[in-house]
Amino acid sequence: MRSRIIAGWSVVALVVAVGLSGSGHGPAVVASEAQDGVPKFEVDASWPNMPNDWVTGQVSSVTVDSNDVIWVLHRPRTVGEDQGTPAPPVIAFEKDGTFVRAWGGDAEGYDWPANEHGIHVDPDGNVWVGGNSAAPESDDMLLKFTPEGELLLQIGGRARSGGNADTASPMRPAESFVHEGEVFVADGYGNRRVVVFDAETGEYKRMWGAFANEPIDTSVSTGEPDDRGGPSQFGIVHGIEVSADGLVYVADRGNSRVQVFDLDGTYRTQGFVNPGDESASTVAGLAFSPDAEQRFMYSADQGNSHIHVIDRATLEVLDTFGANGPAPGEFQALHHLDTDSDGNLYTAEAQRGRRAQKLTYTGMSAP
């Protein structure tokens, strides 16, 4: 969700247990002093309204544009022949679930990814799509389209990346985010970096790794331990968001952490999210609450089927909710998420989950 403001959101947080209606048994959380609580949600099991008897495969990503249109990215190739007719990979819905449009897939003039992964809509309404397939050829591209699906720009191309030092191509990019004319790329499946390009021309601008270190080319090590905590290299750079006040938040999946940078790549700080749980993939995607301060940040815990509510200023986990399962409000392989201007959450479930869900904001928890 991109810098939208709504009334009625508190700028003070409380650490309390807030559950999703029907979502089960999230881990216990600890209360602390505050005034107005944390956001509460309940699932809208009727969302969305899919037309044409279409079905989705693995739903890899979801994003909300400045008009509160929700864009869902899924993987049609993962729909079996006996499972129904797959929808086009890019599908747009209104907040109430009304279908808007759908498009995407292989076509002349550009390299569509073999395994769709991340979607983002920039402030001008343009839609950015990337993929993370490694075989038979690597998805080393980031594509920019009009809302109707007309190609505007391709950065990189199939099997083009030369690794972390390559300034022309990403390598299996996980997600992107456009801020003030630049596209910040979570270049995290083949590389271990954030890379920044001009959002109009695709010209390379800059790059950095964890702690602003030079990223290394290796598929095994995440670097020696850093005295500031955790590995000196990113694991999988899986999500990226830029806040309204110009800070870059990087979801380091597998290392259970969020790292924060200035726009120029200067390292600020980091916070660990649910470390020590059964799975270390606790930060697959990030989203901000829609108040002016973007007081809360949400983390998609892919490995443990939770959503974590985080104080954006301190990176403290304030609340955790959600449980593993197929029922509405439960999660399976929670991948990316986003919010609309009313504070509602939208989630994407890849692998086992294969769905997008809407979690309706119902207010703040009682202190």
Domains within the chain, CATH numbers bracketed:
39-364 (2.120.10.30)
Residues in the chain with pLDDT values less than 70: 1-35, 219-221, 367
pLDDT of the residue at 15: 32
- Identify residue 345 by its one-letter amino acid code: L
pLDDT of the residue at 366: 74
Is the CA virtual torsion 288, 290, 296, 301 positive or negative?
negative
Q: Which residues contact 225 (CB under 8 A, 6 or more apart)?
A: 231, 232
Cα 55 to Cα 108, 137, 214, 326, 355, distances in angstroms: 25, 27, 42, 16, 9
Going by their DSSP bridges, the two strands 54-55 and 85-86 should be labelled as parallel
Reported as a single tens digit per residue, the pLDDT across 126-178 is: 999 999 999 999 999 999 999 999 999 999 999 999 999 999 999 999 999 99
pLDDT of the residue at 6: 38
User: Following CA atoms 311, 184, 236, 73 in sequence, which dihedral angle do they give, to the nearest 10 degrees?
Assistant: 90
pLDDT of the residue at 20: 41
Pick the closest to residue 166 from 136, 204, 134 (CA basis). Answer: 204
Pick the closest to residue 206 from 164, 176, 258, 167 (CA basis). Answer: 167
pLDDT of the residue at 33: 37
For the purposes of burial, counting CB atoms within 10 Å of the CB of 276, is it exposed (0-12), middle (13-18) or buried (19 or more)?
exposed
pLDDT of the residue at 35: 52
- CA 12/CA 14 separation, integer angstroms: 7
Query: Which residues are bridge partners to 54 per DSSP?
Result: 85
